[in-house]
Each structure stands twice: as structure tokens, then as C-alpha cells.
Structure 1
Amino acid sequence: MVKTLLGSLVSICFILTAGCSGSSSTESSFPHSNSRTYFKSTAKISMEVYYETGSEPFTGTTLSGMNYWQILEDNLTAIFQYRSAAPTIAVPKTLAEMTAIPAQGKTEWTGIDIVNLHKQYHSQLPTRADSRFYLYFLDGNYSTGSGPETGVIGVSLGGTPIIAIFKDVVRSSGANPNGVVPKYVEQSTLVHEMGHALGFVNNGVPMVTVHQDTAHGAHTTNSDCVMYWMNEGASDLSNFLQNYINSGDTVMWGPEVLQDAQAYSE
């Protein structure tokens, strides 16, 4: 399903279906936050991470010694590798590099609530040279205004560089709420939502070959890509991530998405 917010589209990731819905984003209200800037001109891609006390992002390292946030950085590096001058990627990897905000005491978050939180706490605005994304880790659940949607892992507010992750849902994705699976779920959701925010699939970045799953919005038909709409239940997400957990591979984009990035980059 497609959610509309302030004239923009909200991309939503679900744990129960292991998928995410979305559609083409509307014209951005952030003048320097668009696919053309990301793939053709910006010199830097920066992440600002904010978290409610008690809803901290997972940090630390895998059993092989890799920092979990390296997954997001590796995927951003891969998607921008085709730029003639690749942008600098700035991804914080420790809580000390992220910003704690007071617990908000909310059990439900609408898109407008998330935007208002962003207005209160964000540090710097994106510029033509420094494209910034704002990642919020929140307690409670996403809501369209008709009650909590307890299966929503994260949302990307279309037309903005704002992404929210709902920690209660992340923790519930594995038998151990602090185990390996929730940590990979968190990172894969960030990669997926960043994919939408950057312009995939057919969401600002044109397709080289037709691979959009139009029945599910801005997603690919390739089930081996992080941008796939995994609509066969939570086991699909577990199976998808297991390959990365076992192999140590980190880049989750499929070849079709990488081809789109290559064709669009300057």
C-alpha cells in the first residue's frame, strides 16, 4: 500500500511480509535532496543518526569483526562507485558519533510526527556539496492515524532525506531481540530505505531494463536484491539475510539496481 504525507510518499517496510511499499516520490521540498544531485554532483553523502534513549541503534561488530554499520557504508560505496569522482561517504559507527534525544513517550508515530521531530533536532541542512540523510531510531510504532501498524520496521518520507526505524519491531524480528538477525534486519532495512531515498526503483533514477515490480511500487522483480518486495512472509527476509550472515558479503543491491546507478551516474 502507498501512504501519502504532505504531498509526499511514504515508503514503508514490514516485518510480517518482509517487504516495503512505495512509489515514485514527488518533487522534493529539500532543494538539494534529489537523485540528480546524489548521482551527478554532490561531493559528500553524510548520515546524521538520532535515537531516543532506550531505542539505540545496534552497534558493535559481527563475529568476524566487521562493524554492523559497515553494511550501510559498503552499500552506499557500491551504489556510488560509478561516479567519475565518487562522493565521500560519512556513516557513523558508534553511539558516540550519533545523537541521543530524550525519550518522546510516544507509542505511535505518524509521518507528520516524524517531520516535526526532525525540525526540532536535526543538526545541519543538506547543501549542494554535502547531501545529508537523517536516520531516526524511535520507540513505538508507525501509524497512519488509525492506530499502530505493528509490522512496520521503517519508513522513508518521500521527497525528503528523512528515514525512521522502529526499534520495537526490529527487536521482534529474531528469537533473541539483541541477536544477530535483528542486527542484520536493522541494517538491511536502512539499505532498503536508503535505496528509495536515493531514487530506486524507478523512483527518480531511470531503469536501464524493466525490473520494477509495479504491483508493489518502487521495488524490483529480482528476489535476490534488497529492493525486492518480499511478500511471502517473514521467512523470506530471514532467508535473504542468511546468505549475508553466513558469507560475510555486505552489498545487497541486485545487478539491475547497480546497472541503473551506473547509467545515471556522472
Structure 2
Amino acid sequence: MRLFKRVSVFILCFSLAIFIYSCSDSSTDPGDPSQEEFNSKAGTGESAEHFLQSDTYSNIEIELDYMEGYKPTEGAIDSLESFLNNRLNKNSITINTSKIPARGDGPYSTEMITTIEEDERDNYTEASGSTLHAYIVVVDGELSDNPNVLGIAYWNTSMALFGETIDNISSSDPTSPSEQQVENTVLRHEVGHNMGLVGNGTPTQSDHKTEDSAHCTNDECLMAPSVQTGDIFQNISGDVPSLDEACIQDLKANGGK
């Protein structure tokens, strides 16, 4: 009887040991970062550190899809690359452009734009990779909620520009800003939101965030709310608005330049 009990206890302990070992050695252990998927549908600014720092993703690749007739100027694309090189700690920064069919479905809601992304986007970030993938789409219409809006950042690596609205602002009269100036400004502004500005993923180092939005209180800053609708072009001429010192200090504190 005693022998039976000893054998039973041994078998129980051995089985328990195997169970514990199996659990701790599981390849799907939720504590293993290499097994976690990168969420490309998180909120704007939630991947700010991944944009700014090189610890996890040392490279960034942007897929820029434009609907036929709304290709951004080469100057605007070069300007965005220069802006990113000045602010992100990355080994390489690549912007790939591709034409997609015009849909003529505008005005576009955010939901419609996310559907376009799901249809057209080719590359997504892999948790085990070294490249952060971002997506920009230029559509052939306006935003349904507000026809004056030039662009939006709607997911943590996703942005959209409204080609029709950009055309309207850049060609309304002889004193209007050029198409390249508008595109330069909007591209930088929307990427700025996914870099966590202002106070939305990248903590502010000083009091310069507007009360009702993730924008800068400095009316001349790239992240001012007036950039979103193009109103800033009524107060500036020539150069693209720059990030002010407060925004730059925020980025540096969060791992950027």
C-alpha cells in the first residue's frame, strides 16, 4: 500500500513538472516580444517612439499611393524625406510612390479611406523586422466631414491627403501658395502627428498644446491647427512653416532629433 502511494505521488509530481515545463517553454508565450504582432490600426501617435527611435526599428519605409491625377510634386516628396532625416534617428528612410486608380467616390469619409488602404497597401510592419512601414494615400476628393481639411492622420502609421482640396487652395488666385508649398506643409504636418505631436504620444516638455486638439499654440508652427485647413497660408509666404523650438524639444526628449 505504501509502495502504491509512493508510486502515485511520483507519477503526479512528474506529470506536473512536464506540464509546467511545457507552459514555460511555449513558443506563444505572451511575454515573448518576438511573438507579438505590430498593431497597424492603433491610434494616431501611439507608435511615436517607433518613428523617432532606432532601438526597435532602425529603418522606415513609407508607401505613398496617389490616385491618378494627384501625384505629389517631386519637390514635396524630397522635402518630406529631408524633414524625416532631420528629425528621426533612422539608418535609412525610403519613400516609394505608386499610382492607384482614381475612384471618384468623394467626398471621402475616414471609413472610406481605411477601406482604400486595406485594398491598396502592400507593406505592414513586422514585430520581428527592422523596418517601420508607414502609409500615405492621396485621394481625388475632399473629406466628407470638412471640405477644408487638407490631410488627416487616422491610424498610428497611416495618413491621407485630399488632392482636390490641395488643388483648390493652391490655384484659387495669383497670391495663392504653390502646390508644392501646400503639399510640403501638409505631408510634414500629418507625419508630425504620427511622431506624437502635440502631446499625443510624445510627451510635451513645456506648455504649448492647444486645449481642444493635438496642435501647437504657436500660430506660426508647423503643428498649428491652422495648417490642417490651409488657413496658415493667409499669414505666411514663401517658406514652409517649421516646427517651433517647443515641438523640437518634445521630439528630442522622446528619442528623436
Shorter chain as normaliser: what TM range?
Answer: 0.7 to 0.9
Q: 1:206-217 maps to which residues of 2 (within 5 A)?
A: 206-215=203-212, 217=213
Paired residues of 2:66 and 2:99 also in contact (CA < 8 A): yes
Deviations 1:15-46 (Å, cap 9, x if unpaired)?
Answer: xxxxxxxxxxxx96359x71122223221121
1:69–1:238 Cα change, 3 Å = farther
Q: Which amino acid aligns with 1:49?
A: L
Shift of 1:237: 1.9
Query: Structure 2: how far apart are the matches of 1:265 and 1:234?
Result: 30
Paired residues of 1:71 and 1:251 also in contact (CA < 8 A): no
Deviations 1:64-94 (Å, cap 9, x if unpaired)?
Answer: xxx33222112212222xx4xx3421134xx
Residue in structure 2 matched with residue 18 of structure 1 by the alignment: none
Q: 1:147-186 maps to which residues of 2 (within 5 A)?
A: 149-157=146-154, 159-175=155-171, 181-186=178-183
The reply on whether 1:49 has 2:64 as its aligned counterpart is: yes
Query: Structure 1: how far apart are the matches of 2:107 and 2:233?
Result: 25
Query: Structure 1: how far apart are the matches of 2:195 and 2:234?
Result: 25
Q: 1:39-78 maps to which residues of 2 (within 5 A)?
A: 39-40=52-53, 41=55, 42-59=57-74, 67-78=75-86
Q: 1:81-120 maps to which residues of 2 (within 5 A)?
A: 83=89, 86-92=90-96, 98-120=97-119
1:180–1:58 Cα change, 3 Å = farther
Shift of 1:134: 0.9
Aligned pair count reads 211
Shift of 1:175: 3.5
Query: Structure 2: how far apart are the matches of 1:235 and 1:105?
Result: 26
Residue in structure 2 matched with residue 140 of structure 1 by the alignment: 141
Deviations 1:37-58 (Å, cap 9, x if unpaired)?
Answer: 2223221121111111122222
Query: Structure 2: how far apart are the matches of 1:125 and 1:201?
Result: 25
Between structures 1 and 2, the one with greater helix share: 2
Deviations 1:213-238 (Å, cap 9, x if unpaired)?
Answer: 113x101112221001228x956324
Unaligned runs of 5+ in 1: 1-26, 60-66, 93-97, 245-249
What TM-score, normalized to structure 2?
Answer: 0.73
The reply on whether 1:36 has 2:49 as its aligned counterpart is: yes
Q: Which amino acid aligns with 2:147?
A: T
Query: Structure 2: how far apart are the matches of 1:251 and 1:100?
Result: 28
What TM-score, normalized to structure 1?
Answer: 0.70
Shift of 1:186: 1.3
Q: Which amino acid aligns with 1:167?
A: G
Paired residues of 2:203 and 2:254 also in contact (CA < 8 A): yes
Query: Structure 1: how far apart are the matches of 2:76 and 2:113?
Result: 25
Between structures 1 and 2, the one with greater strand share: 1
Query: Structure 1: how far apart are the matches of 2:241 and 2:150?
Result: 20
Residue in structure 2 matched with residue 124 of structure 1 by the alignment: 123
The runs of at least 4 aligned residues of structure 1 exceeding 6 Å deviation read: 176-179
Residue in structure 2 matched with residue 255 of structure 1 by the alignment: 245
Unaligned runs of 5+ in 2: 1-38
Percent same amino acid at aligned positions?
A: 22
Shift of 1:125: 0.5
Deviations 1:124-175 (Å, cap 9, x if unpaired)?
Answer: 112342112211111121124xxxx321211110x33111111111111134
1:118–1:162 Cα change, 3 Å = same
Query: Structure 2: how far apart are the matches of 1:182 and 1:44?
Result: 29
Q: Which amino acid aligns with 1:210?
A: D
